[in-house]
Amino acid sequence: MEQRILLKARLILEYHGMVLLMKQTSNNGGKYTLVGGTIENNEFAKTSLIRESMEEAGIKLKPENLKLVHMLHKKKGDNSRVVLYFKSTDWKGKPSALERHKFKKVEWFDLDELPASMSPTVRHVFEHYKAGEMYSEFLKR
């Protein structure tokens, strides 16, 4: 069987020690997560993240303001994905939940006081990100 690895990009948007999280709708899990999505075949990671950030949250980013801060290799059963996490502290626009079928709202949280109802993957990434670790692995059971 051919192995297929999904490639994704996520945004860690920081502002004065706070990070932006999006609250999913109940149908999508109801957890807090990060802006971002799948990198399409015709895109580079930063281009994808810039597109997703505008579509999901109305955030306008520039490629030069995106810094790669973490990479996650996640496995669940036979599925494998690599997620690139980019940090930015510079953007235009007021963040809001634009894809209402996926997200209820956006909220800022202190990096040291993240919500309990965060997805396990995002919690894992923030633990490694805060420790300054560039790479981590996550096995979802």
pLDDT attached to residue 78: 84
Could you report the per-residue pLDDT of 25-79, keeping only the tens digit for each? 999 889 999 999 999 999 999 999 999 999 999 999 999 999 999 999 999 888 8
CATH 3.40.50.1000 fits 5-139, yes or no: no
Instruction: Determine the residue type at 59.
Output: I
Measured in whole angstroms, how far is the alpha carbon of residue 40 from the centre of its chain?
16
Question: Would you mind telling me the total number of residues written for the chain in this entry?
Answer: 141
Residue 125 vs residues 1, 2, 24, 33: alpha-carbon distances, Å: 29, 28, 18, 11
Residues 80 and 82: their CA atoms lie apart, in Å, by: 7
- pTM of the shown model: 0.95
Domain spans in the chain, listed from the N-terminal domain onward: 5-139
